[in-house]
Each structure stands twice: as structure tokens, then as C-alpha cells.
Amino acid sequence: MTIEQANQYFSALPDGFAPEEELRAALPAHAEKVAFVGVAGTAGKTMVAGLLAAILKAAGFPVGFYRAGCEPVERRIRIQGEPVDPGLLSNAVDGLSAAKPLPRPAAELAAAVFCFAEAGCKLAVVEMADAGLAAALPRMPVCAVTSIGPDGVSRSLERSAALAAGVMREGAVCVTAPEQPKAALSELIVAAGKANCELVVPDAEDIQFLEAEKFTSRIDYGGYTIPLAFLGRHAAGNAAMAVELALALWRKGFEVEDDAILAGLAAVENRSSIRVLSQKPLVILDACRTPQQAAALLRVLNMAKVRHMSAVVGLSAEEGAEAFFSALESGLTPEEQKKDKTTMPGMSENPFDKVFLVPLQGGEAARNERLLETARYHFEAELCTTLEEAVRLAKANSRRGLLICGSEQIALEAAEQLENRL
């Protein structure tokens, strides 16, 4: 099987959930030699997993890394920081295609596990789109639940937290996000008690910003002082989680020295989260899709004192659009907006002169018009026909710079369009 055929195989699979028994049956027997770190949650999974994988590589471990997303699978399965060998992935798909088909998230995870086992990885960090699948992985001494929040579906914080807690295992250590919403944290505490899993929460007061202007970032967490390619307080919280995950692995018998923690965190390149593609002209890409992420983005722009930008927004769904635009306008999550706003960080002035909307993929005209009306409650907004048109109009309208956000797909497509033109 060629890598093109392998990609076609994954593309043809349906989304959805698979029973853990079906995933377990698809895993090779030698997967037991790999210790997994499962990372679940709403926001920050890719960043936390990527930071930890870099730390483990710096510590000298043969390490695998799988992240969910919309790029081809061979770019999202990595071994020692490099994309998986196409032949190895093709062999994994050969085995999967001969058995009962799995939904795409489970099939991708099964292929990743096969590749990690075949490559002799001692540790593998895996982003869990479905936390319930974690039970199928043979060994998981450490896991993580990142920030919990609205995710474009009609689900409470408690329910989202309970689903993410599916990553917990008996006897494991679970690290969760600092400043987790109280409702989510309470659910995680209960779940950890039921699973007999130790829950670790980084102390937000231990996170110090040493530099936070002009799109640079240097933080200190518990004495670990590092330059960080990611911006914003949420990114610092994710880095703190990665530190605590590394320390938890050390307590579980994996040698992770302080030097490896520092080197790994500093080495990770930012390819998705508030990525500054260019300073002159200012072009920022962000895969943000939730109100939490939109609020975090706006706070970074405020910190950098950016004004008079144009924004291109390409959401993947109509649901959750109101909460997203509200957070992008105010810098406050829906939960924060219910509180006394005088105590919130917020924004003194919104930085966007105008917002240009990319149509919903496969969406009919009526849905796109509703999306436009939703955006107009918060911004001067215009609906475009394509991403290319939206970028062109936004650049022409901009006095200071350009932001492109709303989904990973939009950020990736924009990067391809712009990187060779700047």
C-alpha cells in the first residue's frame, strides 16, 4: 500500500466513537512495551502533548507523538520529532484494512500505536480526541486533562470534564490545567478519586511572566525559566502542565532531568497557536475555535498593544459562533462575562476594524447569512466567497495587520497561501 492509498483509507472512514474493545483488538501485542501519556481536554491538548514529547526527546528517550487534526496522518504521527516513515505507516494501514473498520479517530490512534511499537519507542505521547479510548492502551502511568470549556457542542462543563476524565487510570498521575473552571475541577477531583488516580494541579501563582510584550514570551514556573515560542497566559499554563507531566514521569521511574525539561520546552516551534507569521506587515495565524481560545488570543493582542487589524474568521460550524465572537470582542469567556467585569482582564479597545468571514464548509446560503448576522452583533463584518478573497480584502482594509483564525484548517490553508508571499 502506498502512502497515498493510506491517506485515502483514513479519509474514507467515518467520524465517531469506537468501543475500547474494538481498538484494543486492533493493537499489536508488542504495544505493551510502550508507556503512553494520554492528553485529553478541550483546549491546549496539542501544545501540552508537543511540549512533553520534546522534553522526552531531550531526555534521550525513543519517543513517539501523535496529535489529532486535519493534516495528513503521516505529518501527525512523529517519531523522535520527525514525521513517521511512510512505509511504516503503510504497513500499519495494511493490517487495519484487513480487519473490521474502525471510526477514523480510533483507526488513526491504532496506526500510531503500531508505528510506535515497531519503531521501538519507550514512551509515546498521544492526543486523545476520544478520552474513552485511553482504556485500550496497555500502559499509561501518566496522563493529562487540559483546560475544559465550551467546544461548539451543547454540553455542560461538568459533562465535558467527565468525558475527558476517561483518560485516567488506576495508579496513574493525572495533571490538569491551572485555573480550571471550578465546575470542571470538581468533576475531575471526583473522577480521580473513583479511578484511584493522583490528580496534580499546577499552582497558577507559581507562573511568572518575565517578558510578555512584542510577541515574545519568557516565563518562570517553579524555578524553570524558559523562553517559550507560544504566547499568552494559557500557553504558560500549558507549559506548566508539561513540566508537571515530566516530573510525574520521573516519579514513575523515567529519568527526566531538569536540563531536558528546559531544553525541550525551549526547542518546540509554534506552528498553530497564535503564530506570528510576519511582523512587517503583521500577520498572525491562530487555530483558535473555542471561546476560551478566542479570549486568550485577544488578551495576547492587548498585551502587545495591537490596534487597527483586520480579521479573517473561518469557523468550521455555526454552533457556538455567538460565544466565539463575543469572546473575540471582549477577551472574556462566557463564564467570565457572568461575573463582575471590573475584576476581569478584558480589553480597553477591540483591535479589529473589520471582520471578513469565510463561508462554512458545505454550508448553505441561509447558514452563512445567520453566521454573518451573528458576527455583526459584535463587529463590522462582511461575508466573502473564499479564504483567498477574505485575505485579499482584509489586507486591503488593514491599517496595522492581519489576523486569520477560527479553525486549524483555516490557519493551515492561510499559511500555505501567505508564507511564500511575505
Question: What residue ranges of the chain are covered by domains with CATH 3.90.190.20?
Answer: 275-418
Digit-coded pLDDT (tens) for 145-159 = 999 987 655 578 899
- How far does CA 271 lie from the centroid of its chain? 11
Q: Which range has the worst mean pLDDT, 27-41, 277-291, 366-380?
A: 277-291
Digit-coded pLDDT (tens) for 295-325 = 889 988 888 888 899 999 999 888 889 999 9
Q: Which range has the worst mean pLDDT, 50-54, 68-72, 121-125, 152-156?
A: 152-156
Contacts of 60 (CB under 8 A, 6+ apart): 260
pTM (2 d.p.): 0.88
Contacts of 96 (CB under 8 A, 6+ apart): 9, 26, 102, 107, 110, 111
Percent of the chain clearing pLDDT 70 (strictly above): 95
Most confident of 114-118, 313-317, 399-403: 114-118
How much is the pLDDT for 341?
53
Question: What residue ranges of the chain are covered by domains with CATH 3.40.1190.10?
Answer: 3-267
Confidence class of residue 69 from pLDDT cuts 50, 70 and 90? confident
How much is the pLDDT for 152?
55
How much is the pLDDT for 214?
64
CA separation for the pair 255, 247 (Å, rounded): 9
How much is the pLDDT for 337?
73
CATH topology of domain 275-418: Protein-Tyrosine Phosphatase; Chain A (3.90.190)
CATH topology of domain 3-267: UDP-N-acetylmuramoyl-L-alanine:D-glutamate ligase (3.40.1190)
* Average pLDDT of the segment spanning 108-130: 96
DSSP-H helix ranges across 15-156 = 20-26, 45-58, 73-76, 86-97, 104-118
Digit-coded pLDDT (tens) for 227-263 = 888 888 888 999 999 999 999 999 999 999 999 999 9
